[in-house]
Structure 1
Amino acid sequence: MTKRLLAAALVAGFLAACVASLLQFALTSPLILAAEKYETAALEAPSRAFANPLIVLAHAGHGHGGEAEWQPAPGLPRLAFTALATLVSGVGYALLLGAVLVATGREVTSSEALRFGIGGFLAASLAPAIGLPPELPGMAAAALESRQLWWLATALATAIGLYLVAIRRGAVAVALGLALIVAPHAWGAPHGPEEISAMPPVYAAQFSARSLAVAFAFWAVLGLAFGWAWEAVAGREGAAARPGAAV
């Protein structure tokens, strides 16, 4: 069971990361680059602590105490770093998806894993985006710690709520699930001070919509690929266990 889970998670995470990386390159990366031009124009040029061309300091003043934050240099380093982060996230989310499928006693098929993948999109992407939509560089935002805490609470509450509504389905379970889904939004997401930005508002709207579209594709591929890989590994294990099978 553990080997099957790991194998399916690796396959699903890799395939989902490939799809998401291509979509990010085509849909969201151009908007990020355009937004960074406006951000750079509004800030003083950051100082360089090292001569290493693979690391640049950017977003000065966004960290605590006004220290500069580093990010990969534009071009291939940034693409590689983003793809690697997406791959790691994909495998991690696939492991979580598989663990939830097994823990709930559901039969692991492509269709069932797809449904759970859509649930993952609702919990980890869509629900948090209602209060904290994806943000471009240079946009005003609350402290990172408070945003991360609210995102985590919203994702957990939504995931548990979806489980109660879609799987348990009792009257009390549905009522409690709906309450959990609504609770983080009733509490309210943390927001930073309002600032006037030279960046066209359409950039922010496009980035938010495209980011959610990429996230949906990521979770859909993750679910489908996990179910397919699980069934494929199970089939090979069954064939190997038959009498007379080659060792």
Structure 2
Amino acid sequence: MTKRLLSAALVAGFLAACVTSVLQFALTSPLILAAEKYEEQAGLAPAGPGLPGLPGSNPGLPGSNPGLRGGNPLLVLAHAGHDHAPEGAGAAAAWQPAPGLPRMAFTALATLVSGVGYALLLGAVLLADRRTVTSGEALRFAVGGFLAASLAPAVGLPPELPGMAAAALESRQAWWAATVAATGLGLYLAAIRRGPAALALGLALIAAPHVWGAPRAPEAASALPAAYAAQFAARSLAVAFAFWAVLGLGFGWAWTALGSGRSAAPGTA
């Protein structure tokens, strides 16, 4: 069972990484590169009290890689941002892959790693709930993963481009993790357990992080056009949905194919 779970997760993660990487390079990477140019231009201007955070620190959320500058799938999936070395602070600049092919390769690798990890989690949830693993059933749970890990956190912490002001990393990490956990449990109670009490508790859990409120970014001027930020948030969520959809369909297909192969092998029941 463990070998089958791992094999299906590897297949699903690979398929999701292939589709997501293509979508990232086509839809979100051009916006990131354009935003970085605005960020560099802002960094050349003298900082003043009316421009906090420019060039500021916009650290990412759990799993983000500062070297990928937003190309990391966890940025798209979990609303991570970007790390930047403080100007004039004497701190060592964070390592990041060189532009071009190295950066694309690290982005694709990070997408693959996160895809396999999420596929393992998806499979574990399906098996723990004693579900018959099919492509349709895995897709249903994958949509729940998208709602919990991408859409719900985006309500309070939308995906961010370089140069955008952001709250402190630790507070964003804590809020993101709490939102994912509360939304995931709430969806499970409302959609799986059902019943009046489970539904009420589930809805309360889903709403709780937003009632509490996400960490607020400091007020800051930005040279980045507002249209860029809006396009990036929308495209990031679209890529995230495609990621989860391929992950669910791929896992269900791989699980069924691996099971058929074992049952057809000589000497197996």
Normalised TM-score (structure 2): 0.83
Residue aligning to 1:188: 213
| Residues 68 and 106 in structure 2, CA contact (< 8 A), matched pair in contact too | no
Secondary structure (helix, strand or coil) at the match of 2:95 reads strand
Give 2:232's match in structure 1, choosing from 197, 202, 207: 207
- In 2, Cα distance between the equivalents of 1:233 and 1:76? 34
| Residues 68 and 97 in structure 2, CA contact (< 8 A), matched pair in contact too | yes
Matches within 5 A, 1:218-229: 218-229=243-254
Amino acid at match of 2:11: V
Residue aligning to 1:32: 32
Change in CA separation of 1:152 and 1:203 when aligned onto 2, cut-off 3 Å:
same
| Residues 135 and 250 in structure 2, CA contact (< 8 A), matched pair in contact too | yes
5+ residue gaps, structure 1, are 47-54
| Residues 68 and 107 in structure 2, CA contact (< 8 A), matched pair in contact too | no
- In 1, Cα distance between the equivalents of 2:252 and 2:121? 13
- In 1, Cα distance between the equivalents of 2:102 and 2:43? 23
- In 1, Cα distance between the equivalents of 2:110 and 2:145? 18
| Residues 118 and 219 in structure 1, CA contact (< 8 A), matched pair in contact too | yes
CA-based RMSD of the aligned residues comes to 2.3
Cα offset, 1:235, TM superposition: 0.5
Residue aligning to 1:22: 22
Normalised TM-score (structure 1): 0.90
Residue aligning to 1:7: 7
Cα offset, 1:146, TM superposition: 1.2
| Residues 43 and 60 in structure 1, CA contact (< 8 A), matched pair in contact too | no
| Residues 56 and 73 in structure 1, CA contact (< 8 A), matched pair in contact too | no
Matches within 5 A, 1:57-206: 59-61=84-86, 68-206=93-231
Amino acid at match of 1:37: K
| Residues 23 and 214 in structure 1, CA contact (< 8 A), matched pair in contact too | yes
Cα offset, 1:74, TM superposition: 1.1
| Residues 68 and 103 in structure 2, CA contact (< 8 A), matched pair in contact too | no
- In 1, Cα distance between the equivalents of 2:248 and 2:41? 42
Cα offset, 1:135, TM superposition: 0.1
Cα offset, 1:56, TM superposition: 11
Could you tell which deviates more after superposition, 210-219 or 73-82?
Answer: 73-82
CA shift digits 1:94-123 (9 cap, x unpaired): 000000000011110000000001000000
- In 2, Cα distance between the equivalents of 1:142 and 1:171? 37
Report how many residues are paired: 235
- In 1, Cα distance between the equivalents of 2:266 and 2:193? 35
- In 2, Cα distance between the equivalents of 1:71 and 1:5? 33
Secondary structure (helix, strand or coil) at the match of 1:163 reads helix
Change in CA separation of 1:230 and 1:36 when aligned onto 2, cut-off 3 Å:
same
